[in-house]
């Protein structure tokens, strides 16, 4: 599998990861790695975060879309 971002720039680079949202192959230059908090349900129906953070890999487009979604939620759902 090759990096989709590189292919769009007419380059061929082997993918070392896959975007967890869209499934695009990514090279080391184009992957965005971060952490994701996982939770478990505790008594009285409350979610409790667990450690350590899970690895989260995204392509540039999905990373941008998730940031835009988070910004919309911070504004109370208004775009």
Nearest to 13 by CA among 24, 22, 21, 4: 4
Give pLDDT tens digits for 42-52.
998 899 999 99
What whole-number percentage of the chain has pLDDT above 90? Answer: 82
Give mean pLDDT, residues 49-57. 93
The reported pLDDT for the residue numbered 79 is: 56
Domain boundaries, the chain: 4-74
HSE (side-chain half, CA atoms, 13 Å) at 76: 0
Query: Is the pTM for the entire model greater than 0.85?
Result: no
> Cβ distance 51 to 23 under 8 Å?
no
Which pLDDT belongs to residue 77?
Answer: 65
Residue 76 has pLDDT above 80, yes or no: no
């Amino acid at each position: 599998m090759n990096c989709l971002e590189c292919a769009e720039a007419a380059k061929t680079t082997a993918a070392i990861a896959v975007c967890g949202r869209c499934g695009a192959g990514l090279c080391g230059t184009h992957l965005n790695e971060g952490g994701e908090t996982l939770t478990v349900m505790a008594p009285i129906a409350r979610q409790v975060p667990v450690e350590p953070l899970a690895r989260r890999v995204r392509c540039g487009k999905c990373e941008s879309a998730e940031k835009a979604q988070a910004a919309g939620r911070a504004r109370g759902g208004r775009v």
